[in-house]
A = this chain, B = another copy of it.
Amino acid sequence: MKIIHTIADIRDFVRQARGKSLTVGLVPTMGYLHVGHLELMRRAANICDTVIASVFVNPTQFGPGEDLDRYPRDLERDARLAEGAGVDAIFNPSVEEMYPAGYCTYVDLERITEKLCGLSRPGHFRGVATVVTKLFNIVKPDCAFFGQKDAQQALVIKRMVDDLNLDLEIIVIPTVREADGLAMSSRNIYLDPEQRRAALVLYRGLLKGQEEFRKGERDPAQICRRVTEMIQAEPLAKIDYVEIYSHPDLVTVERIQGPALLALAVKIGSTRLIDNILLGV
């Protein structure tokens, strides 16, 4: 497996693959890989002849006061894990390589970004859409792979690909969880043992919401109330949002009639965690 740091070199790598008529899959990540990432990579290796994983902690998707500086990084470990999952090349550019002096272009989505994490993290999806557009233009993959854990991100990227007529397929892979249900996240490393136990309340909350839905509840406000109550019972948890929207349009609904996304963001200590579940699918 190759580790490539420049845009010119990764383009060269792709050109060689294309020269052999190989298909190319891209797995964009911020590194510090966990089993969820590896699942994306294995799926990519199943579908595409050549798999490129990008490892880039993208500064433009972090807000002021967020965890850009302390975001965990370990390229050596990432390389070992990615290779085992079937990745052919890691693209690991510097911040200067991606955003040279004078950089000023951003990709912005209306409406779909003005809720959920887009409200709590202004500018976050602008940063995500921008870096993903750049990665797509650099690698020109046939397919790109994202996790359902970042549900809004996956929807934003699918919408952006449609809107900007980007010529690739977006494949979304189900959330991978620890044995006890906690969604895999690079940020789980921030949790101390007590917080790690408390963090289970996110998934328990989602299961509570699913149970209410299965019992026939179709009022989003009622379901969110039950979920909120359960999470509030955990003293270490501080809710950012618990919300239900139609899926995939992310529109507010008075009653759940089609597929819906129950999504939540909860702070455990200073660590902000997100999780979600689909209802009615």
Contacts and interface: CB of A to CB of B under 8 A. Distances in A.
Given A105-B107, A109-B105, A249-B102, A134 B164 contact: yes
A160 B103 CA distance: 9
A41 B11 CA distance: 30
Contact of A163 (B103, B108, B165, B249): B103
Interface string A188-230: 0000000000000000000000000000000000000000000
A111 B106 CA distance: 12
A225 to B, nearest CB: 30
A159 interface: yes
A69 interface: no
Contacts of A129: 105
Contacts of A102: 159, 249
B249 A105 contact: no
Nearest to A99: B163
A76 interface: no
Contact of A105 (B7, B11, B134, B160): B160
Contacts of A160: 105
A96 interface: no
24 contacts: A7-B165, A11-B167, A102-B159, A104-B109, A104-B110, A104-B112, A105-B108, A105-B129, A105-B159, A105-B160, A105-B163, A106-B107, A106-B108, A106-B109, A107-B107, A107-B108, A108-B108, A130-B164, A134-B163, A134-B164, A137-B164, A137-B166, A138-B165, A140-B167
Interface of A: 7, 11, 102-112, 129-130, 133-134, 137-138, 140, 159-160, 163-167, 249
